[in-house]
C-alpha cells in the first residue's frame, strides 16, 4: 500500500498543530519527523521534546528519521519518547545490527537510511531484519533541495532485491519529491513517500496532500498493471 509521509521540517512551527491537522484531513498516512544533530548533518532541527508533545495529539504514526551521529544512544530514546518507526543512517554507526535490535526490543518498527552515494550492498545482511529502508534522494540536512535523478535506478534495484527475497519491507524515499516527480518515484518501486516543501509551501497543504496521494496511487496501479 502507498503511504504519504509529510515532513514537518518544512512546516510553520508557529502553527504546527494546525498544519498537522491539515495533512491529516488531506489523508496523509504518517508524520515524518526529521531529527538533525549538527554533527552527522550540518543543521540542527527537531528533537525528543517535540516527539513527546506530538505523541497522542495526532492519530498518525510518527516516522522519526534520525540524522544523528550516535543512533545507538538516540534510537531507543526516540522510541521511549513516542516514535512508532525509527530510521537511522547506516553511515552513522559501525553497529547497524545492534541498533536494529535495540529498537525491536522496544517493540517499535525500525528502518535503515542510505545516503545518495551509499551502495545497496550494505543491505545484504540486514534486509531481512528491518521493516523499512529509506533511500535519500537528496543529501540529508535541508528541506527544499533538488531530487537527485540517479535515485530512480537505486529505487528500482532495491525493489528487485526486496521482491526477489520475498520480503514485505517498505521502501521509503525522501527529498525533492513533489507533484512533478512522485509518479516516477512510485513507478520505480517506492511505497512510502516523504514530501516536505511540496506540501507545506503550497497555498493549500490539504489539497496538495490529496493530489500527491492520488498521483502516487495511480502510478502504483499502473505499475501493478504492467507487471501482471
Element containing residue 184 per DSSP (H, E):
helix 182-188
Cell of 211: 493530489
Question: What is the residue whose three cell numbers read 498518525?
Answer: 60
Q: Are strands 62-67 and 3-6 parallel, antiparallel or unpaired?
A: unpaired
Chain-centroid distance of CA 187 in Å reads 17
Among Zn ion, ligand DX5, none, what binds residue 116 when CB lies within 5 to 8 Å by partner kind?
none
- Least Cβ distance, residue 67 to Zn ion (angstroms): 7
Residue 192: φ, ψ to 5°: -130, 120
Among ligand DX5, Zn ion, none, what binds residue 26 when CB lies within 5 to 8 Å by partner kind?
none
Single out the residue of 143, 205, 206, 213 in contact with ligand DX5 (rule: CB under 6 A). Answer: 143
Q: Which of the residues 34, 63, 131, 170 is marked catalytic?
A: 34
Among Zn ion, ligand DX5, none, what binds residue 71 when CB lies within 5 to 8 Å by partner kind?
none
Distance CA 111, CA 125 (A): 14
Residues binding Zn ion: number (CB under 5 A)? 3
- HEC string of 22-88 equals HHHHHCCCCEEEEEEECCCCCCECCCHHHHHHHECCECCCEEEEEECCCHHHHHHHHHHHCCCEEEE
Residues binding ligand DX5: number (CB under 6 A)? 22
Is 163 noted as a catalytic residue in this protein?
A: no
Among ligand DX5, Zn ion, none, what binds residue 89 when CB lies within 5 to 8 Å by partner kind?
none
Is 184 noted as a catalytic residue in this protein?
A: no
Single out the residue of 24, 184, 197, 202 in contact with ligand DX5 (rule: CB under 6 A). Answer: 197
Interface with ligand DX5, residue 145, by CB under 6 A:
yes
Report 39-68 residues binding Zn ion (CB under 5 A).
65
Interface with ligand DX5, residue 198, by CB under 6 A:
yes
- Closest CB to Zn ion among 3 and 65? 65
Interface with ligand DX5, residue 115, by CB under 6 A:
no
Report 157-176 residues binding ligand DX5 (CB under 6 A).
174-176
Cell of 157: 534495484
Report 141-180 residues binding Zn ion (CB under 5 A).
174
62 Ramachandran zone, left/alpha/beta (phi>0; psi -120 to 50): beta
As separate numbers, helices (DSSP H) first and strands (DSSP E) second, the chain gives 8, 8
Residues that bind ligand DX5 (CB under 6 A): 7, 9-10, 32, 34, 65, 138, 140-145, 174-177, 194-198
Just list the catalytic residues: 34, 174
Residues that bind Zn ion (CB under 5 A): 34, 65, 174
Amino acid at each position: 500500500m502507498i503511504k504519504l509521509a509529510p515532513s514537518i521540517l518544512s512546516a510553520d512551527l508557529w502553527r504546527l498543530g494546525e498544519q498537522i491537522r491539515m495533512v491529516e484531513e488531506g489523508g496523509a498516512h504518517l508524520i515524518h519527523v526529521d531529527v538533525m544533530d549538527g554533527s552527522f548533518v550540518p543543521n540542527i532541527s527537531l528533537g525528543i521534546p517535540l516527539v513527546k508533545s506530538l505523541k497522542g495529539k495526532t492519530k498518525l504514526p510518527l516516522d522519526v528519521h534520525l540524522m544523528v551521529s550516535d543512533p545507538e544512544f538516540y534510537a531507543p530514546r526516540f522510541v521511549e519518547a513516542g516514535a512508532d518507526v525509527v530510521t537511522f543512517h547506516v553511515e552513522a554507526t559501525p553497529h547497524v545490527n545492534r541498533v536494529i535490535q535495540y529498537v525491536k526490543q522496544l517493540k517499535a518498527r525500525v528502518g535503515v537510511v542510505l545516503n545518495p552515494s551509499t551502495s545497496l550492498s550494505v543491505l545484504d545482511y540486514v534486509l531481512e531484519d528491518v521493516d523499512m529502508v529509506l533511500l535519500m534522494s537528496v543529501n540529508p540536512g535541508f528541506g527544499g533541495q533538488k531530487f537527485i535523478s540517479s535515485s530512480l535506478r537505486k529505487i528500482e534495484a532495491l525493489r528487485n532485491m526486496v521482491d526477489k527475497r520475498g520480503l514485505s519491507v517498505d521502501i521509503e524515499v525522501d527529498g525533492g519529491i513533489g507533484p512533478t516527480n512522485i509518479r516516477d518515484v512510485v513507478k520505480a518501486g517506492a511505497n512510502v513517500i516523504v514530501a516536505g516543501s511540496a506540501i507545506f509551501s503550497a497555498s493549500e497543504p490539504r489539497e496538495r496532500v490529496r493530489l500527491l496521494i492520488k498521483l502516487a496511487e495511480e502510478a502504483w496501479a499502473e505499475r501493478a498493471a504492467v507487471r501482471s
